[in-house]
Amino acid sequence: MSYYKITMAAALAVLTSSFLIAGGGAIADSTKADKVDYTAMSSEQLAEYLIFDAKGFKLDDKTQEGKTVRDRLTQDGIQKACSALRGGSVDGATAGKVIAMAREAMTHPEGGIKLGDWKKGDTVARSGYGFRVGHKVDDHSGREPGGNCYACHELDPNEIAFGTLGPSLKGYGKLRGTNEIILKYTYEVIYNPHTYFPCTQMPRFGYHGTLTQEQISDVMAYLLDPDSPVNQ
Amino acid sequence: MSKKTSFVLSALLAFGASVSADSYQAPEDVLNGLISEVDSAYLTQSEQNIMMMPDNPAYWVAEEGESLFKAKRGPNKASLESCDFGNGPGVLEGAYVEMPRHFADSGKVMDLESRLVYCMETIQGFSSDDPAVKKRHGSGSDMMKLQTYIASQSSGYEWNPPMDHPLEKAMRDAGEVLFYRRAGTMDFSCRSCHGAAGKRIRASVLPNINVPQEWTKAVSWPAFRVGHDNVRSSQHRVRGCYWQMRQGQIIPGSDASIALISFWTDAARGQPAILPDMKR
């Protein structure tokens, strides 16, 4: 699969990536904001400074998962490693590191991976609602968040408004069947796609908890159930 | 119709009708020129919008902006004609395509919106709480009227943000980091949607930052957003993208927002601006 291959100018790929020192404490004193010399920082340090110290965002806004925008903007290991590529193709060292981080954080549902209800999965696949914060805030108490699969993937061949950032998943189950290996693979790609596609653009729906285990099983049914429109 | 025609006419008279790299060109002519250069699903995705461009509702917004610009307003009863947008007080032709830029008076790199706020506060004496300054969005806001008027006088001019001052370079480079910086519950960065050619979100074709002819249209704000029925700004686009990326609310006029706009403008360098544009 060419899922993580990038059509990016090669020139950008060779830009230095000193991201490891970004966010260092040296420039974190916000009380001296007006005396800070932007030109003395690396671009990575300055970017962190502009977000967290120079009032770039409403950092204390609450999020649906009970944290804050500050937490949303704080990068984890996979986000840091993949950002450093600046759109270039993933190199072997980064890929290995990212896959290792993904595997370490993988969890599987108790009682094994099972297919849920493809009709519910259809709803999850279509809905882009959820987890937005800022000038408008998604209210999860009034409406369940979705997975927004159609934003990037073709699924039901009767749905023509599908995105193309990800590969087509039309006939996903018909092509692959539903044995244990396919179930595990499909679950792990939805939970954390970096397990197989390091630095993919696809979100980690299980890792971040943006889809519940039940929703993941419903989406899996939408992909794999022979009765699902995806497989007609 | 006559209002729009008079605006276009006065624009043509003011800037000369000759076609060269740095002279006024009607936005639909700029776009059609780009379409003849590259095969782009993004540039050609809405034939209807291209047809409507000569009647872009943004022209009326710009016309109201011209009146506001020249009117003596605010506690100081001053017009904005003494505001320097980079090429001297009151000089607007080609000024917007050279922003964001560093201004010695403020000591900061400023985009069009933050520069306007600065002049409205320092020259006209508006307080930061005054609706004239505080209300940033919507065709009815002073901000959008003024931005649309000022920016429209750079249509056809090539993007050329200066990189002479060390702060201009520092902000542009930090903006590049921000553009590729993945975070949040969706792991997105700007690049997630704007790093490949001909890709779609649902039915909408996305602009690719690596194709300059696409990218100049992407960054050509103000634009009339047909789906919003309003003229929108660069800052509105930045806010919307971070909201969709689930990364919270970026603060308008913050250095983070200006750094990002510096990078995206630099990425369109050398391409003619489409102002005002009409987008989906």
- Per residue in A62-98, pLDDT tens? 999 999 999 999 999 999 999 999 989 999 999 999 9
Contact state of B247 with A57 under an 8 Å Cβ cutoff: yes
What are φ and ψ of residue B119, in 5° steps?
Answer: -70, -40
Task: Establish, for the pair of chains A and B, how many residue pairs have beta carbons separated by less than 8 Å.
Answer: 166
Interface test with A, best of B180, B204, B257 (most A CBs within 10 A): B180
pLDDT at B191: 97
Share of chain B above pLDDT 70, in %: 92
Q: Which two tokens stand for residue A79?
A: 């986000």
Share of chain B above pLDDT 90, in %: 92
Q: Is the pLDDT at A222 greater than 90, yes or no?
A: yes
pLDDT at B22: 81
Amino acid letter, residue A215: Q
pTM value?
0.89
> Please, are residues A137 and B176 in contact by the beta-carbon 8 Å criterion?
no
Q: Which residues of B touch A54 (CB under 8 A)?
A: 254-256
Structure confidence at residue B85 as a pLDDT band (50, 70, 90): very high
**Nearest residue in chain A measured CA to CA from B249:** A134
Q: Is the pLDDT at B14 greater than 50, yes or no?
A: no
Q: Is the pLDDT at B193 greater than 90, yes or no?
A: yes
The mean-pLDDT minimum among A28-37, A100-109, A166-175, B72-81 falls in A28-37
Mean pLDDT across B190-202: 96
Contact state of A72 with B185 under an 8 Å Cβ cutoff: yes
Q: Does A35 touch chain B (CB under 8 A)?
A: no
Q: Which residues of B touch A145 (CB under 8 A)?
A: none
Alpha helices in chain B (DSSP H): 2-15, 27-37, 47-52, 58-70, 112-122, 131-134, 142-152, 166-179, 191-194, 212-218, 234-244, 255-266
Q: Does A149 touch chain B (CB under 8 A)?
A: no
Q: Which two tokens stand for residue B86?
A: 């980079």
**Beta bridge partner(s), residue B103:** B108
Q: Is the pLDDT at B204 greater than 80, yes or no?
A: yes
- Nearest-CA distance B19 → chain A (Å): 31
**Nearest residue in chain A measured CA to CA from B186:** A203
Contact state of B248 with A61 under an 8 Å Cβ cutoff: yes
* Radius of gyration, CA atoms only, chain A: 20
Interface test with A, best of B108, B114, B202 (most A CBs within 10 A): B202
Contact state of A50 with B247 under an 8 Å Cβ cutoff: no
Asked if the ipTM is above 0.90, the reply is yes
Mean pLDDT across B155-177: 98
Residue with tokens 């990218």: B215
Q: Which residues of B touch A60 (CB under 8 A)?
A: none
Q: Which of B63, B64, B34 is nearest to B207 (CA)?
A: B34
Distance CA B53, CA A189 (A): 44
Q: Does A36 touch chain B (CB under 8 A)?
A: no
pLDDT at A35: 74
Amino acid letter, residue A78: I
Q: Which of A156, A151, A184, A183 is nearest to A170 (CA)?
A: A156
Distances (CA, A) of B1 to A132, B5, B100: 40, 6, 33
Task: Give the side-chain half-sphere CA count within 13 A for B204.
Answer: 11
pLDDT at A41: 98
Instruction: For strands B204-205 and B277-279, give the pairing.
Output: unpaired
Please name the residues in contact with B128: beta carbons below 8 A apart, sequence gap of 6 or more: B117, B121, B134
Distance CA B213, CA B207 (A): 9
Quick check: is B241 catalytic?
A: yes
Q: Which residues of A touch B41 (CB under 8 A)?
A: none
Contact state of A83 with B181 under an 8 Å Cβ cutoff: yes
pLDDT at B37: 97
Interface test with B, best of A12, A57, A156, A159 (most B CBs within 10 A): A57
Amino acid letter, residue B225: R
